[in-house]
Structure 1
Amino acid sequence: MPRTGIDGLAEELSRARAAMRARSPADARALELLVDVLAGRAGRALAAAWDERRFQGPCERAGLLLAALRAEARAAGPGHPLWPGLGAETPRPAALDAAALEAVLARPDDRLVDALARRSAREEDPARAIAWRWPAALAGAGGGGRPVALAELGSVAGLGLVADDLAAPWTFPDGGPVPVAAGVRAVGRLGLDPAPLDAARDEDAAWLRACVPAGDRAAMARLDAAIAALRAARPRPDAPVLTPVALASAPERLALLSATAPGALVIAWQALLRPRLGREERAELHAGMRAWLATHRPGSALWVELERAPGAHALGPGRAALLTAHARAPDGGLRSVRLARCALEPSVVVPEPGAADALAALLAAPAAGTAAAAP
């Protein structure tokens, strides 16, 4: 259910701390201290900043609070009381204390209030582009072998749309590389989101960096490389285009992309999008995407989801996400293929037996002039 203000925030902070403990000890320490800090004057100030906001995700408020504090510390520099614990490149969890958090939050400056009231904390990790680069390779789109049109649903800043210009960090459990498409011949790169960020703007790029957990140097390096790649791609004919659109309406925009890219394989994908959507919006998007697939010939369109797996906490950090592809089969029906499990920030990919071959068969390029199967 949507949440407003700080109702139930203490429980949310505790859940977020458990999830963050291994990845960022500094963030986990901040979340631990914030439970008590927000019980007083700092909590009232935060409630005022969030008075007119509605939050959907299970830890959305915790993520935004941390990102806003990191952004504030980094913008102010080494003299800020939270700089040693949250702003420095190598943060020191022991440097964080309740007094510093209380001082910053009880009387927030305009920059912090603006971030809390207006921003959203969504980490943009180009490693999640495994969702399209692996299926594109299975479809024969590597090395320009087959034209593709790319679309990301819930695109934070479009960084995943240029992931083919970046290194491929993914391996199977045996250490072998996951085959992903490079040298892609893209006839379109489209990012769809209600409020996409422009990574070419220093202000938005700084916010993207603030959304990376404190001290996660590997994630920060991936982000910086992707921002550089996106900026370098701006003059190209296939430069990403970010379009503000309600996510439930994304299938309608995809239909336009399909119409303008005849003969191309259209790959639409999403990464950790479901927590941002209410139940009705999620159902509407799911139905719309299935309807969109049904309008295409088999082998000409694909929808891929990289989402948190059911029972993710019990599965362990390396299997918390599920990669699922949806495509139209030769008989006209829609098929869903569970490709693999991986981390929310994918590196090692655990494939489902036979799934890659099954998807490759579904994505075989349709013969020229082949009529669409009946819906």
Structure 2
Amino acid sequence: MGLGLDEIKRRLRVFSEQEAAGTSPLYEHLTAKAAEDDEIAGLLTDAKNGEARGTLLMATAHRLIQADPIHPLSRYYPSLGGFDGVDSETWPLFREFLLSRADKARAIIASRYTQTNEVRRAALLYPAVSIAAKEAGGKIALLEVGCSAGLLLGLDKFNYRYQCDGGEQLTAGPAKTAVGLHCALDLEPGAVAPKLLKKLVINGRAGLDRAPVDVHDEEELAWLEACVWADQPDRIRLLRTAAAAQVKYSPGLVTGDAVDDLAATAASLPEDLPLVVMTSHVLTYLGERRQDFLSELKKLASERPLWWVSDEGYQVALEHVLPGRDDLAGNTVLGLVRWHNGETQARALARTAPHGQRMTWLAA
């Protein structure tokens, strides 16, 4: 059953005030207005499985304007070459555009999930995967849960530059590659910068997702692009570049459930390799099944060496295995967990920014 209109409008308001504010002037403005408009907010009543979110409404509008780029609304969409800032005409144009395509909008909303595959998050995950690979002795198999198009499964193919306090720069990954990522790296007092592997050796990779995206399908890739915020065109260019590069390694993507199908997906990877399981902004969608997911990880860890690398909100992920860290409450945290001889070894490595632009390394 879909959500009620009042709850949808509340979600839109929260998205505008807490997620888009200071990051996306366009989406902040549009979702604030949508939160006060029964007809626009009402389009989300057809969303499935509680997916009625500001991101889904904005992605739907983005996909429709992609398909009609000569509409006057496009001048507010940098992703389509627009360069006008928000003004008094933005909302009326958006409202008219979406309501005149209400049937198409409802069809997208009823059939799609928001799919984000933020390539820059690889820069956040790489240091933790490096530590796991070193502890595992070198070669690993990599499994990403909630993989979307699986672009982060290519993190060993990207080049990384971390700009540290005081001007020092850490580098990792192949020098000649199409995808280069930059990330600011701050150090908490008492923290020591991570030692990065220059080269990761991944000899098996797989992704598990409820609706994996085939980037070789132009319509699917267009939806993935539509889920990127329209006033952040650099993210779309990076997405395209990483999607083109994926042709060289083509990870196996499995359609399935994060809990029920985890063991079978893990079994598809070479059993003689230590396994690194990776999640990034996924556990919030698991709701009450988060503990079941952790139980499945622990069960897998009794069968083969396993590390869990997570970039998640502290309360939805790491708190379950590393409780009592009030200093991390409200933060997205890079975590590394290993279950060894029945013991849980959990580490909080860094506070992270949502789109991979910055991380603060924590003292041990």
Same fold (TM over 0.5): yes
| d(CA) in 1 for partners of 2:169, 2:147 | 29
| d(CA) in 1 for partners of 2:301, 2:362 | 23
TM-score normalized by structure 2? 0.80
Shift of the 52–221 alpha-carbon distance from structure 1 to 2, 3 Å rule, reads closer
The aligned counterpart of 1:134 is: 127
| d(CA) in 1 for partners of 2:219, 2:122 | 24
Q: Which amino acid is 2:76 matched to?
A: G
Identity rate, percent: 21
Q: Does 1:71 align with 2:79?
A: no
Q: Considering only aligned residues, what root-mean-square deviation do their CA atoms show, in Å? A: 2.9
Shift of the 196–221 alpha-carbon distance from structure 1 to 2, 3 Å rule, reads same
The aligned counterpart of 1:371 is: none
TM-score normalized by structure 1? 0.77
Question: Deviation per CA, 1:245-271, whole angstroms, max 9, x where unpaired?
Answer: 11112431244145x330x22110100
Instruction: Map 1:207-356; keep pairs closer than 5 Å.
Output: 207-231=223-247, 233=248, 236=249, 239-257=250-268, 260-262=270-272, 264-279=273-288, 281-296=289-304, 300-310=305-315, 320-329=331-340, 332-354=342-364
| Number of matched pairs | 326
SS of the residue 1:82 aligns to: helix
Instruction: Map 1:1-375; keep pairs closer than 5 Å.
Output: 4=3, 6-18=5-17, 19-36=19-36, 38-39=37-38, 41-44=39-42, 46=43, 50-51=45-46, 53-55=48-50, 61-78=53-70, 80-86=71-77, 88-89=80-81, 90=83, 92-94=85-87, 96-108=89-101, 111-130=104-123, 132-140=125-133, 146-174=138-166, 175-177=168-170, 179-181=195-197, 183-231=199-247, 233=248, 236=249, 239-257=250-268, 260-262=270-272, 264-279=273-288, 281-296=289-304, 300-310=305-315, 320-329=331-340, 332-354=342-364
- 1:123–1:212 Cα contact (<8 Å) kept: yes
* Unmatched segments (≥5 aa) in structure 1: 355-375
Question: Deviation per CA, 1:303-346, whole angstroms, max 9, x where unpaired?
Answer: 111102349xx999xx93101111134x5412111111111122
Shift of 1:191: 0.5
SS of the residue 1:249 aligns to: coil
| d(CA) in 2 for partners of 1:209, 1:103 | 23
- 1:173–1:350 Cα contact (<8 Å) kept: no
| d(CA) in 2 for partners of 1:324, 1:31 | 32
Higher strand residue share = 2
- 1:85–1:94 Cα contact (<8 Å) kept: no
- 2:117–2:151 Cα contact (<8 Å) kept: yes
SS of the residue 1:339 aligns to: strand
Q: Which amino acid is 1:270 matched to?
A: T
Shift of 1:12: 1.3
| d(CA) in 1 for partners of 2:46, 2:234 | 35
Shift of 1:348: 2.6
| d(CA) in 2 for partners of 1:34, 1:105 | 11
